[in-house]
Amino acid sequence: MEFITLDAQDYETALKEARTEYGPSVRVHTRNDYQIRKGMKKQRRCTITFYLVKERSLDEETLQDHLDSSQETGKSETKERNERIEPGDSPNLIDFPIESREHQQQLLKELLEENDFAEGYIQEAIPILCADRQFETLEELEMGLLEYIIEGVTINHGQYTKPKQFFVLLGPTGVGKTTTLVKMALFYQKSLYEKEEEKVALLSLDSYRTGATNQIELFSKDFGLDLFHAHSEEELSELLPTLEGYSLVLVDTMGKSANQGELSLHLKSLLRVLPQERCSCALALSASHKNRDLERFVKLFSTYPLESMVVTKLDETEDIGNVLSVSKSNDLPLLFFTNGQKVPENLLKATNEAILSYLRGFALDLQALSQNQNTSNHTQ
């Protein structure tokens, strides 16, 4: 472990310079604000001492790949800049003491920001984490933060083991609904409905976009999945007796944007035909969206009885904090993650383990921790 010190006109500049040179793995250990005299004037300066944490590789395609590859440390090349401090018999990084409450708050804020947690999430988390508590070491602080993050996660476990008969996936166009539903159909076929009489079907209400029908037809042909289409309430009502013969019907919907009110009304009237008590609606959102966009989409679809959230395209981003923030602030339990275009491979159940594998910037060995995770998430 090595420490690097850097001096600049103020703390923000010092941190910016450190990050420009060493990237996002910079963690400030101490800061020293001081003043120097320049002629008659006093000038503020700040020296920071920082270290670098391991970066996680994000090229993986499956959770196992994630777990395996996180062993390969992304060793940053650390060049000497200014003066370098090598503490005596360099203790383990995680044993480093946290000096003050401000230092503690600063470390928590940096870790949360690095993982792209929403401003609101951070503002709520820090006072709770710091209430009556001074973490003594970095290990304690990181453990406290992980506990907070994981405790705040809700997962719709029931939908894995006892899914409702109709599962409707809503969400913006292009987010990956159709692809994800096909992955889910194959997941359920393999894990839950293996017997011949337990069949899984796809139902497409996605009839408005050119090309959309073709895509789902190709999938259904490639993977031998039964596919049905309904364009109107009458057609759907006529189909219902046939659909009742399936253990699970995964319903694909057309996209929706703010000015597509008519499509939305049409979709709502179609969905009303399905048996409500056996119907579960989920919202698909892309992890590569910014916090604000995620919140906007949740609002846009809030008139549907959403029971869970499916997060797509985790392979296109390095952060999961945005998704965890929106899930928490809207009480939307997580269900599945997708991390690539490959069908059916790139689908993961939303587990504590998967979430830990996507967090970064921690000095703790998250891989080892994720293996110890049991299913302690809140269940809904």
Ligand X SMILES: Nc1nc2c(ncn2[C@@H]2O[C@H](COP(=O)(O)OP(=O)(O)O)[C@@H](O)[C@H]2O)c(=O)[nH]1
* Site for ligand X, rule CB under 6 A: 171, 173-179, 215, 255, 312-313, 315-316, 338-341, 346
C-alpha 207/C-alpha 230 separation (Å) is 8
Q: Smallest distance, Å, CB 263 to Mg ion?
A: 13
Q: Which does 87 bind (CB under 5 to 8 A by kind): ligand X, Mg ion, none?
A: none
Pick the closer one to Mg ion by CB: 29 or 177. Answer: 177
Residue 321 contact among Mg ion, ligand X, none, beta carbon within 5 to 8 Å by kind? none
In the bound state with ligand X, the residue whose beta carbon lies nearer, of 325 and 339, is: 339
CB of 24 to ligand X, least distance (A): 22
Which listed option, Mg ion, ligand X, none, makes contact with residue 353 (CB within 5 to 8 Å by class)?
none
327 in Cβ contact with 154 (< 8 Å): yes
**Whole-number Å distance between alpha carbons of 96 and 212:** 55
Least distance to ligand X, CB of residue 176, Å: 3
Distance CA 46, CA 53 (A): 22
Sign of the torsion formed by the C-alpha atoms of 169, 173, 177 and 182: positive
- Of the pair 252, 353, the CB lying nearest ligand X is at 252
Which contiguous run of DSSP H or E holds residue 190? helix 177-191
User: By C-beta, is 145 or 254 nearer to ligand X?
Assistant: 254
Footprint on this chain of Mg ion (rule: CB under 5 A):
177-178
179 makes contact, choosing from Mg ion, ligand X, none, with CB < 5 to 8 Å by partner type, with ligand X
Which one of ligand X, Mg ion, none is in contact with 313 (Cβ closer than 5 to 8 A by kind)? ligand X
Task: Look at strands 3-8 and 84-85 and give their pairing.
Answer: antiparallel
Is the Cβ of residue 218 or residue 265 nearer to ligand X in the bound state?
218
Calculate ∠ Cα 250-325-318, nearest 5°: 85
Q: 3-state DSSP call for residue 282?
A: strand
CB under 5 to 8 A by kind: which of ligand X, Mg ion, none does 315 bind? ligand X
The secondary structure of the chain in percent helix, strand, coil, rounded to multiples of 5, reads 40, 20, 35
CB atoms within 10 A of CB 61: 14
Q: What's the closest the beta carbon of residue 172 comes to ligand X, in angstroms?
A: 7
Pick 117 or 337: Cβ nearer ligand X: 337
The two counts, helices (H) then strands (E), for the chain are 14, 14
Residue 361 interacts with, from Mg ion, ligand X, none (CB under 5-8 Å by kind): none
Between 108 and 284, name the residue whose CB sits nearer to Mg ion.
284
* Residues 219/252, Cβ–Cβ less than 8 Å: no
User: How far apart are alpha carbons 49 and 47 in whole angstroms?
Assistant: 7
Closer residue to ligand X in complex, CB, 108/254: 254
**CA 133 to mean position of chain CA atoms:** 28
- Closest residue to ligand X using C-beta atoms: 176
Name the DSSP letter for residue 318. Answer: S
Q: Which residue is nearest to Mg ion (CB)?
A: 178
Q: Of 22 and 337, which CB lies nearer to ligand X in the complex structure?
A: 337
**Partner from Mg ion, ligand X, none binding residue 29, C-beta < 5-8 Å depending on class:** none
CB atoms within 10 A of CB 208: 16
Alpha-carbon gap, residue 267 to 204, rounded angstroms = 11
Helix, strand, or coil (residue 6): strand
Task: Report the partner that residue 174 touches, choosing among ligand X, Mg ion, none (CB closer than 5 to 8 A by kind).
Answer: ligand X
Give the three-class secondary structure for 311.
Answer: strand
